[in-house]
């Protein structure tokens, strides 16, 4: 995760937030929508849980594993090739990248420093080198860029700067459109459908190397 404007987040320190004094587990919910035998859209809603002290932890990476047999084809959609410096200079992805490279939107919630209330972020998602690039804006100003890497049926999002920013993400919602075409989709779901549902998961890595996994299922129908 790279930051564009730390000044936006370097706000006055308030009294520490009050959290429940118990651990909570992360969760993930997935919704897959697609055209028959064609492009698939994804809505992923994830929460990242809390530590034993009841406080949100610093998330350094999260890996979303889609149903086995899902296939990504990043070449199916125009890619943004702008460098991070070019994106910063342009004032965001929508100014630096081709419109056809935009594939979705994101919202997120995170505590920054000792601020007692979480900040609400939102922004676009673009098809980028390696995987989707997420822009999170605060008050319409780009604040974070979260890069990712696709490998097989999984997408790993990099939040390695979270520790230096003392950013503690609590939840995120990603919505990827039915990008591409029926013959050349950006994402295609598996053709098989064992017992009417697919398995998916979210594996979170927190500061210190601690990991935690949440699992979910997605209803499906066999394609022919």
Joined together, the tokens standing for residue 200 give 């998916």
Give the integer Cα–Cα distance in Å for 194 and 200.
Answer: 13
Joined together, the tokens standing for residue 61 give 């990476």
pTM value?
0.88
In the chain, DSSP finds a helix count (H) and a strand count (E) of 4, 15
- Give the Cα-Cα-Cα angle 104, 107, 111 (nearest 5 degrees): 150
pLDDT of residue 13: 38
Q: Quick check: is 53 in a domain?
A: yes
CATH number for the domain spanning 154: value is 2.60.40
Q: Residue 120: CB partners within 8 Å, gap ≥ 6?
A: 107, 108, 109, 138
Q: Quick check: is 28 in a domain?
A: yes
Q: Quick check: is 5 in a domain?
A: no
Q: Is the dihedral of CA 20, 26, 27, 28 positive or negative?
A: positive
Give the integer Cα–Cα distance in Å for 125 and 150.
Answer: 14
Domain span at 166? 22-219
Q: Quick check: is 1 in a domain?
A: no
* Domains: count for the chain: 1
CB neighbours (10 Å) of residue 43?
Answer: 14
| Rounded alpha-carbon distances, angstroms, from residue 154 to 97, 98, 127, 137 | 24, 25, 15, 25
pLDDT of residue 22: 75
CB-facing half-sphere around the CA of 185: CA atoms within 13 A: 21
Stated as kind and residue range, the H or E segment containing 8 is helix 6-9
Q: What is the DSSP letter of 113?
A: T
Q: Quick check: is 13 in a domain?
A: no
Give the integer Cα–Cα distance in Å for 198 and 105.
Answer: 24
Render each residue's pLDDT in the chain as its tens digit; 224 residues. Answer: 444 444 344 443 333 444 456 789 999 999 998 766 678 999 999 999 999 888 999 999 999 999 999 999 999 999 999 999 999 999 999 999 999 999 999 999 999 988 889 999 999 999 999 999 999 999 999 999 999 999 999 999 999 999 999 999 999 999 999 999 888 999 999 888 888 999 999 999 999 999 999 999 999 887 65
Q: Quick check: is 56 in a domain?
A: yes
Q: Quick check: is 3 in a domain?
A: no
Smallest CA-to-CA distance from 158 within 87, 64, 70 is with 64
Joined together, the tokens standing for residue 141 give 């100003």
| Rounded alpha-carbon distances, angstroms, from residue 171 to 14, 77, 184 | 22, 28, 32
Q: Quick check: is 144 in a domain?
A: yes
């Amino acid at each position: 995760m790279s930051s564009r404007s730390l000044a936006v987040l370097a706000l006055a320190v308030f009294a520490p937030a009050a959290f429940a004094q118990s651990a909570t587990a992360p969760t993930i919910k997935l919704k897959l929508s697609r055209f028959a035998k064609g492009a698939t859209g994804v809505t992923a809603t994830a929460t990242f849980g809390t530590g034993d002290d009841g406080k949100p932890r610093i998330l350094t990476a999260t890996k979303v594993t889609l149903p086995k047999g899902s296939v990504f084809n990043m070449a199916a959609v125009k890619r943004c090739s702008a460098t991070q410096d070019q994106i910063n200079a342009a004032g965001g992805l929508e100014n630096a990248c081709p419109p056809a490279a935009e594939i979705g939107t994101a919202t997120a919630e995170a505590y920054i420093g000792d601020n007692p209330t979480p900040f609400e972020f939102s922004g676009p998602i673009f098809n980028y080198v390696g995987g989707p690039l997420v822009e999170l804006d605060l008050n319409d100003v780009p604040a974070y860029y979260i890069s990712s890497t696709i490998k097989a049926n999984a997408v790993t999002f990099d939040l390695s700067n979270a520790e230096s920013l003392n950013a503690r993400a609590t939840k995120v919602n990603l919505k990827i459109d039915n990008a591409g075409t029926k013959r050349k989709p950006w994402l295609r779901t598996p053709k098989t459908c064992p017992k009417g549902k697919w398995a998916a998961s979210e594996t979170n890595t927190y500061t210190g190397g601690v990991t935690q996994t949440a699992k979910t299922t997605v209803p499906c129908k066999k394609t022919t």
